[in-house]
Amino acid sequence: MGGSCKDQKIALAICLQRSPCVLIQRHTPKECLTDPDLKKDLPELCKANFRAFMDCKLGALDMRKRMRGNAPLSTGKYDAQYEKLSSGNFDPEEEIRRLDVMNRNLTKQQQLQEEKEKARLEGGS
C-alpha cells in the first residue's frame, strides 16, 4: 500500500513547483504548505491536490479499506513532468501559464457542480 499514493504525491509536487510561491517567491514547497500565510495564496488546484493526497494517506489507515487496498498502484502518469521539473529543465513562465489554465478549469468545474447542486435542491423543494 505504500505506492498507492505516489500519483497524488507527484501531482502535488508538480503543482507546488509551478506555483508562484515556489517559482517567484522562492519558498520551499514545504514552507508553502505549512505556513498559513503562504498556503492561503496557493492556487486552488494545489489545494485540491493536497486534499487528495491527504485523503489517500488517511485511507491507508482506514480499516474498511484494509482488505481491498487504498487505491490502485501508481500509474506513472506524472513521472515525466516530475523529472523535468526536478531537473530544472523548464521555462518558469510556461509552467505558471499551465498552472493558471488548470486552475481556471478546476474553478469552472466547481462552479458547474455548485450550479447543478443548487438546481437539484431547488427542483426537489
Q: What is the pLDDT of residues 24-52, one digit of tens each?
A: 899 999 999 999 999 988 988 899 999 98
Answer yes or no: is pLDDT of 77 > 90.
Answer: no
CA–CA distance, 12 with 29 (Å, rounded to integer): 10
- Give the pLDDT mean for 70-74: 59
Cell reading at 14:
508538480
Please state the pTM of the whole predicted model.
Answer: 0.65
- Give the pLDDT mean for 80-93: 78
Answer yes or no: is pLDDT of 1 > 50.
Answer: no
CA–CA distance, 97 with 60 (Å, rounded to integer): 34
Count of domains observed in the chain: 1
Which structural domain range is residue 72 located in? 5-123
